[in-house]
Amino acid sequence: MIKPSLSQDSRDFIWAGGIEDTFVPQTRLGHRALDEYELMGHYDHWREDLALLREVGVRAVRWGVPWYRVEPMQGVFDWSWTDQVIPYLIKDLGVTPIIDLMHYGCPFWLRREFASPDYPRAVAAYAEAFARRYAGLIKWYTPLNEPLVNALMCGRRGVWPPYLRGDAGYIRVMLQIVKGVINTVEAIKAVDPDTVMVQVEATGLSRAVRQELEVLALEDQRRGYLFFDLITGLVNHEHPLFGWLLRNGASPDDLAELVRHRIPIDVLGMNFYPQWSTKEIYIDHKGRLSYRSIEHDGDGFAALIEDYYNRYRVPVMITETSALGEDDVRSRWMRASVAAVKQLRGAGVPVIGYTWFPLFTMVDWRYRLGRRPVENYYIDLGLYKINGDGGARRWKQTPLVEQIQSYIHNPEESVGLLKLN
């Protein structure tokens, strides 16, 4: 069983993989169910899929539980599938699961999903039931993956349930998520105080194309901290976003309650993708404020990690990174991102782990709003690609497998010693 360690020894560094596990099962006119496990056949082929972890040689895996399946009716649990998978991961493969309890989706019985007043209690009850079921086996948890993306898709853009829109919807979903995470952590820690909470967020950088827009880039950057600031009790009347929160429906009493019930961060999980995680603010040809992705080479990755560490002063784990493109493009990003980790560790920033995510082919989220067969939405970010030639083996190995194995087998060279100040 791995432990979060600030050891200088590079052999204690946590190399991890991840299985894409987005669950948005609710449908409506024009919206298909999005369950990555179902679409990629993981429910049926989980042994073969997870065996790749041992083949690669990683020590840990980010792997999620489909809440809507394990609790099909409120308070009624079906652990038949997880009872097979979790022991296989730990006992047969020797891999430590970092369990995503929530990777976006709510169960069907929870009406209004994140907007339901029952959500914070319901998600904590599910978390407690899971923790009791797997006490002694599971020590690492992510209470909820990427709160900012949840709030964006469910609260601002209105493309995932409960289909809210605008800043008010964004803040409503975010505050519900924060309450749910705090309740979840308290429920799990009550079962096992030694569990490790990896609080995972979609992190990124905002740039301005001209000086007059710098104020907007700074505001965007501050919003990127919002989840971490809320759970750690940093959002009070002096916080730069306090007024924005109040103007868009946040209650000062609710915010004060979050300060009183703040929780520490055990490990700060940072997700970063070079194609999507850095945005530039500019004025388009019609004079409108617009955003575009820039810096596909991932410039700014190390500075971003250092910035978050300096703000929260807790161990950092790269919980998702990969790149979109041909094998050589993804190989260059792996080399650059691992080199950035080594640089940071040498400068005293405690980056304790690195996750290439996902492990294999996934389905683009655009499938949910599309009409074509699922195969048309495959994207390859991982170490393995789906074998489409009808061969006996489900997955085809890419050159990135040998590349990451070389890093895993030579950690002193790849990630170096952690300089302890």
Quick check: helix, strand or coil at residue 236?
Answer: coil
Predicted TM-score (pTM) of the model is: 0.95
> Cα(377)–Cα(379) distance, rounded to whole angstroms?
6
Mean pLDDT of the chain: 94
Whole-number Å distance between alpha carbons of 118 and 402: 47
| pLDDT of 296 higher than 80 | no
Residue type, 350: P
Mean pLDDT, to the nearest integer, of 244-267? 97
Mean pLDDT of all residues in 7-23: 91
**Domain boundaries in the chain?**
10-235+263-414
* Cβ contact 331:383 at 8 Å: no
Class of domain 10-235+263-414: alpha beta
Q: Which of 119, 243, 111 is nearest to 178 (CA)?
A: 119
Which string of DSSP letters, residue by residue, matches 65-112?
--HHHH-SBTTB---TTHHHHHHIIIIIS--EEEEES-SSPPPTTSTT
Angular region, 356: left φ>0, alpha ψ -120 to 50, beta rest:
beta
Instruction: Dump pLDDT digits (tens) for 70-99.
Output: 999 999 999 999 999 999 999 999 999 999
Residue 339 has which token pair?
């080199």
pLDDT digits (tens, 9 = 90+) for 115-147: 999 999 999 999 999 999 999 999 999 999 999
Please give the structure tokens belonging to residue 76. 């009624």
Structure-derived torsion over alpha carbons of residues 126, 132, 134, 137, reported in degrees to the nearest 10: 130
Confidence bin at 207 (pLDDT 50/70/90):
confident
What are the φ and ψ backbone dihedral angles of 154, each rounded to 5 degrees? -90, -25
Angle, to 10 degrees, between the axis of helix 301-312 and the axis of helix 327-346? Answer: 40
Average pLDDT over residues 305-324: 96
